[in-house]
Amino acid sequence: MSLQIQSGVSLKPFNTFGVDVRARLFAEAHSDADVREALAYAAEHKVELLVIGGGSNLLLTRDIDALVLRMASRGVRITHEDCGMAVVEAEAGEPWHPFVQDMLAQGLSGLENLSLIPGTVGAAPMQNIGAYGVELKDVFHSLIALDRQTGELREFTLPECAFGYRDSIFKQQPGRWLILRVRFRLSFSATLHLDYGPVRQRLQEQGVTEPTPIHVSRAICAIRSEKLPDPVTLGNAGSFFKNPLVSAELAARIRESHPGLVAYPQADGQVKLAAGWLIEQAGWKGFREGDAGVHQLQALVLVNYGAASGRDLLNLAQRIQADIHERFGVSLEMEPNLY
């Protein structure tokens, strides 16, 4: 067996919160064969298999009594070019931001608004990552996943993925599909998305009058670096709560007492509220209890100042949820997966 399985491994280096819990068993998959060996081992030894990527969407609240398999497969290739478009296939273990930068360096656009998002390519479709007016579904072509129930490979097209706001069929059917590689449809001629958040303003401040995809990526990297802490220096999982969707009636009631409400009307009549704005209005921004806290510059980000446990962070998140519901009647949903 080529798969190297270790016992009692600390997962602190493998989750961006830097929570120190241990995995009963741990291995890294560098190929499809490694994945199949891990599945076979888990079945033979009757242990759960937990698959992780970059650990940027995890909150670990306990030791993991399972075989933790970290996807570490690497490789990027252009599979098709036609009419100024290219289909690019990337292995699940490719780190996301370096992949984005590599595509931009090759003159391919579409991913620039998704710059500096932590994690891996294989994890990106799980929650249909999105930022600054672009979601993964907007540049998605297809993916190959392994059905853990049957062992068969399946190709998923865009409609079959059932992408929604931070959602997909892979999130709706947890534990069934193991994403092996993802294909993106990118363009050699840019169609830039500049009107979400401060992107256009930042480009103007930088003196950029005719922006390219690389300019947009640099602007977004600068914005994200100012707003979001680097997990290397301060443990976090990025945005901890989803922006909630509420009825237009509820949004109107909140605006009566809070005229500055940050809200985005949706095509279906609902209204998307800025979770960070709600949390900041409730006074949680900069809050700290022990080593668990809310970031001083971005209320949407929970942080580990050093020795916070996953349980400490979860308790803080639940207190915030309860407070926001009491104050505004809004239910906040956590983004990270809890274990």
108-140 residue pLDDT tens: 999 999 999 999 999 999 999 999 999 999 999
Domain 6-71 CATH (choose: 3.30.43.10, 4.10.91.20, 1.10.510.10, 3.40.190.10): 3.30.43.10
Task: Based on the residue annotation, tell me whether 239 is a catalytic residue of this protein.
Answer: yes
Bridge partners of 93, per DSSP, are none
Q: What is the predicted pLDDT for the residue at 1?
A: 63
The residues, ordered by sequence, that sit 6+ positions from 156 with a Cβ below 8 Å of its Cβ are 142, 143, 144, 145, 169
CATH domain 76-227 topology: 3.30.465
- What is the model's pLDDT at position 227? 84
Residue from 166, 183, 202, 218 carrying the catalytic annotation:
166
| C-alpha dihedral sign at 152, 153, 159, 165 | positive
pLDDT of residue 37: 97
Strand partners, 164: 167
The pairs formed by 135-140 with CB atoms below 8 angstroms and a separation of 24 or more are 135/163, 136/163, 137/161, 137/163, 138/110, 139/110, 139/111, 139/184, 139/185, 139/186, 140/182, 140/183, 140/184, 140/185
Bridge partners (DSSP) of residue 90 are 76, 182
> What architecture is domain 235-338?
Alpha-Beta Complex (3.90)
Q: Where are the domains of the chain?
A: 6-71, 76-227, 235-338
| CA gap 285, 14 in Å, rounded | 27
Instruction: Please give the helix or strand (H or E) that residue 49 lies within, else none.
Output: strand 48-52
Summary mean pLDDT of the chain: 96
Q: Is 224 a catalytic residue?
A: no
Could you state, in chain order, the average pLDDT of each consecutive group of 10 residues for the chain (339 residues)? 92 97 98 97 96 95 98 96 94 98 97 96 96 96 96 97 95 95 96 89 92 96 90 94 96 96 94 97 98 96 97 98 98 95
CA-to-CA separations, 171 to 125, 164, 188, in angstroms, rounded: 9, 10, 31
